[in-house]
Amino acid sequence: MREQLSALYELQGLDITIGRIKARLSALSGARDLKDKLERARPALEAAEKALHVVETELKDNELRLKSIDEKRATFEKRLYSGEVTNPKELSAIEKEIEMLKSQQSQLDGRTLELYDQVEKARSEARVARDNVETLEKQIAEAIEKESAEKVALERQLAETISRREEVAPKITDKALLTRYETVRRKTGNTGIARVIQGKCEGCRISVTPFIARSLQQDKEYVSCESCGRILFLDTE
């Protein structure tokens, strides 16, 4: 009886290991969390780059307009001070043009200064967004590499444990005992057989009755814990 129980206890250890390996394998997600983050980071980068493009374009446009106004103003000023124009009406018209251009220039200058700030801010935001995407891409690649190495190791462990289980399982010749173990294990969700340690069931930590303790000593029949139903095993080694 005790040999059967000892083999069953070993089998249970292997079953627990198999369960743990399988749980770890199914927890490998292919870096799903990071991929979700990347999916949100990409549109954020697109938006930041678009915003940067808008202000850069306006700034460029402003600079071109300023240049063109400057040229016009220079032409008018040249005529004004050349001495070629003497007609007061014409001179006054030129002066008015120059004043108008000056006023346009000053408006554009104000906006251009604002745009310099906006471009700088947009550039820094786009850089942060780009760094974020690049970092995530790198992290995903690393995580996937790490996971694939882990997967190989886990699959090897799983194969080894299964093959060890195949060696141990035939030692349990009492098939009814095996069925009982499977049933209890399904019920408890973890173990079907428990050692008795210092008079207590290892599974539920409740003391076994003197009657059960005696039966275990006599080793003539299989006994179960009266509290949790696990098959009890007196490990004397």
Residues that bind Zn ion (CB under 5 A): 201, 203-204, 225, 227-228
The sign of the dihedral angle between the CA atoms of 154, 160, 164, 169 is: positive
d(CA 135, CA 145): 15
- C-beta closer to Zn ion: residue 113 or 197: 197
Residue 30 or residue 199: which is nearer to Zn ion going by CB?
Answer: 199
Q: Which residues are CB-contacts of 114 (< 8 A; sequence separation ≥ 6)?
A: none
Identity (one letter) of the amino acid at 178? L
Place of tokens 């129980």: 5
H or E element, residue 72: helix 32-82
Question: How far is 109 from 70, CA to CA, in rounded Å?
Answer: 12
Q: Is the dihedral of CA 85, 91, 97, 100 positive or negative?
A: positive
Q: Output the smallest distance, CB 192 to Zn ion, in A.
A: 11
Q: Which is nearer to Zn ion, 8 or 45 (CB)?
A: 8
Instruction: Please state the closest distance from residue 174 (CB atom) to Zn ion, in A.
Output: 21
Q: Which residue, 172 or 228, has its beta carbon nearer to Zn ion?
A: 228
Minimum CB–partner distance for residue 207 and Zn ion (Å): 10
Shortest distance, position 179 Cβ to Zn ion, whole Å: 19
Q: Quick one: 139 or 227, whose CB is closer to Zn ion?
A: 227
Q: Are 111 and 62 in contact (CB under 8 A)?
A: yes
Residue 134 and residue 44 in contact, taking contact as beta carbons nearer than 8 Å = no
Single-letter residue type at 50: K
Q: Measured from the CB of residue 34, what is the shortest distance to Zn ion in angstroms? A: 43
